[in-house]
């Protein structure tokens, strides 16, 4: 089945989609995956129907060249000024009032990957909040959740554990589109709803994975090359909170993980995926230019595979065998945060780290986690569009 994104509806001349954009002075929040089904970029599409004046770049930059958590200064793309929404401090995550001067509308066209930690949804939410305060309308051109919109995994954060890998309390695998997440965030932030529009997709159903939409996959960030990467990412990103390599610096990030000391035989099999032991040498970041032992996660059945719980178990099993001189958890600054461990920000609280440190059973924790995810699945219903 063929799905039309919000941008595709603009291309088709859909009057409803164009109502808030046509002829207006606009800004655009976009990245390399902001393309229509013919791979035309949103810049070229929107220039034909509106007065495009400024571009905004999320994490990785408008051009998508920066690595994770790398500050991006002002760029120049398409012979236009680019305002970075991912600079050297947390203050840079929100646009400033002067960025809206001369604008009627800000259009957001960002491909998300369906996990709470992927920062594009929070860039969109911050933009909508700041634009509304400046008297400027925000229009979200909706896109598919690549993982589908039915399954929810990973309970929301606990009090005190919001960050740029989760500005609002939502499930890890939230099963929402970017338009739906922004609706939720705006309601919670009490943003004037009349200032925010979502251009829904046509033809998307919640059961659809990205490979069923008929749309082309374009990597939205440097380490999200394929749908397979997005499939493991709800759990695979947790490796960032450890001192193991999450496969950055390889061609299969998040699908591959390991460390020089890891014995892959300690990792348990799970439904929906096969673990293939391998050796790899990251070209940069953790254990760069060092041979690691680990696994590649081959997903055989994406509808049965529960990435989040699988990686929670694998991390616990791996760290239980780490040498005494290996500190298991990332200590460096993580998404502008220095006071709380990265793994706590990713899991939404300290409980998981504490259990792993104590080498205690995860069974009760995982059961509670599943209950929290189920509650969120009910809470989100008021914001769903499909």
**One domain, residues 134 and 253:** no
* Residue numbers of the domain that contains 56: 6-218+378-383
Q: Per-residue pLDDT for 354 more than 70?
A: yes
What rounded mean pLDDT belongs to the chain?
96
Q: Across the strands, what pairs with 105?
A: 26, 137
* Angle (deg, nearest 10), helices 227-236 and 307-319: 60
131 C-beta neighbours (distance < 10 Å), count: 25
Q: Per-residue pLDDT for 76 more than 70?
A: no
**One domain, residues 255 and 127:** no
Tokens found for residue 268: 């348990």
Span 16-29, mean pLDDT? Answer: 97
Tokens found for residue 100: 């809206």
Q: Per-residue pLDDT for 148 more than 90?
A: yes
Decide if 212 contacts 145 (C-beta within 8 A).
Answer: no
**One domain, residues 203 and 290:** no
Coil, strand or helix at 21: coil
Based on the structure, what is the number of domains in the chain?
2
**One domain, residues 100 and 201:** yes
CATH number at residue 266: 3.90.1150.140
Tokens found for residue 191: 């943003």
Residue 1 forms part of a structural domain:
no
**One domain, residues 148 and 21:** yes
Residue 48 forms part of a structural domain:
yes
Q: Rounded to an integer, what distance in angstroms lies between the CA atom of residue 47 and that of residue 40? A: 12
pLDDT confidence bin for 80, thresholds 50/70/90: confident
**One domain, residues 263 and 169:** no
**One domain, residues 185 and 274:** no
**One domain, residues 173 and 269:** no
Buried-state track 343-367, b at ≥16 Cβ within 10 A, e below 16? bbbbbbbbbbbebbeeeeebeebbe
- E strand or H helix at 84, and its extent? strand 80-84
Residue 213 forms part of a structural domain:
yes
Query: What per-residue confidence (pLDDT) applies to 1?
Result: 58
Decide if 306 contacts 272 (C-beta within 8 A).
Answer: yes
As a whole number of Å, the end-to-end CA separation of the chain is 16
22 C-beta neighbours (distance < 10 Å), count: 13
pLDDT confidence bin for 161, thresholds 50/70/90: very high
Decide if 64 contacts 91 (C-beta within 8 A).
Answer: no
Query: What per-residue confidence (pLDDT) applies to 65?
Result: 87
pLDDT in tens, 238-284: 999 999 999 999 999 999 999 999 999 999 999 999 999 999 999 99
Residue 10 forms part of a structural domain:
yes
- Taking every pair of Cα atoms in the chain, the longest distance, rounded to a whole number of angstroms, is 64
pTM here? 0.96
Distances (CA, A) of 58 to 127, 306, 386: 10, 28, 26
**One domain, residues 253 and 188:** no
Residue 110 forms part of a structural domain:
yes
**One domain, residues 247 and 342:** yes
**One domain, residues 184 and 40:** yes
Residue 115 forms part of a structural domain:
yes
CATH number at residue 144: 3.40.50.12170
pLDDT in tens, 314-333: 999 999 999 999 999 999 99
Q: Across the strands, what pairs with 258?
A: 245, 294
**One domain, residues 127 and 12:** yes
Decide if 230 contacts 224 (C-beta within 8 A).
Answer: yes
Residue percentage of the chain with pLDDT more than 90: 95
């Amino acid at each position: 089945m063929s799905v039309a994104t919000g941008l595709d509806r603009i291309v088709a001349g859909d009057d409803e989609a164009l109502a808030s954009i046509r002829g207006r002075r606009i800004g655009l929040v976009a990245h390399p995956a902001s393309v229509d089904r013919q791979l035309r970029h949103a810049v070229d599409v929107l220039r034909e129907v509106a007065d495009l004046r400024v571009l905004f770049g999320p994490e990785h930059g408008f051009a998508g060249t920066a690595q994770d958590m790398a500050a991006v200064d002002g760029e120049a793309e398409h012979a236009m000024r680019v305002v970075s929404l991912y600079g050297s401090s947390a203050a840079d995550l929100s646009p400033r009032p002067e960025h809206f001067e001369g604008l009627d509308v800000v259009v957001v066209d960002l491909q998300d990957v369906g996990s709470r930690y992927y920062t594009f949804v929070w860039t969109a939410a911050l933009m909508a909040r700041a634009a509304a305060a400046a008297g400027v309308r925000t229009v979200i051109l909706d896109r598919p959740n690549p993982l589908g919109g039915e399954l929810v995994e990973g309970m929301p954060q606990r009090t005190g554990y919001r960050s740029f890998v989760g500005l609002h309390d939502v499930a890890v695998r939230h099963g929402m589109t970017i338009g739906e997440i922004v609706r939720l965030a705006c309601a919670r932030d009490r943003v004037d709803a009349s200032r925010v529009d979502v251009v829904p997709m046509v033809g998307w159903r919640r059961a659809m994975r990205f490979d069923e939409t008929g749309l082309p996959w374009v990597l939205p960030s440097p380490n999200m090359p394929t749908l397979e990467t997005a499939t493991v990412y709800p759990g695979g990103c947790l490796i960032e909170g450890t001192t193991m390599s999450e496969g950055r610096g390889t061609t299969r990030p998040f699908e591959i993980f390991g460390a020089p000391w890891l014995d892959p035989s300690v990792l348990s099999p799970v439904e929906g995926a096969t673990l293939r032991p391998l050796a790899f040498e990251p070209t940069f970041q953790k254990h760069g230019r060092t041979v690691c032992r680990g696994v590649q996660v081959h997903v055989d059945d994406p509808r049965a595979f529960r990435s989040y719980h699988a990686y929670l178990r694998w991390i616990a099993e791996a760290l239980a065998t780490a040498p005494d001189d290996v500190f298991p958890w990332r200590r460096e600054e993580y998404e502008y945060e220095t006071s709380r461990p990265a793994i706590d920000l990713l899991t939404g609280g300290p409980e998981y780290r504490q259990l792993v440190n104590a080498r205690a059973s995860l069974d009760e924790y995982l059961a509670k986690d599943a209950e929290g995810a189920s509650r969120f699945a009910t809470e989100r219903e008021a914001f769903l569009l499909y």
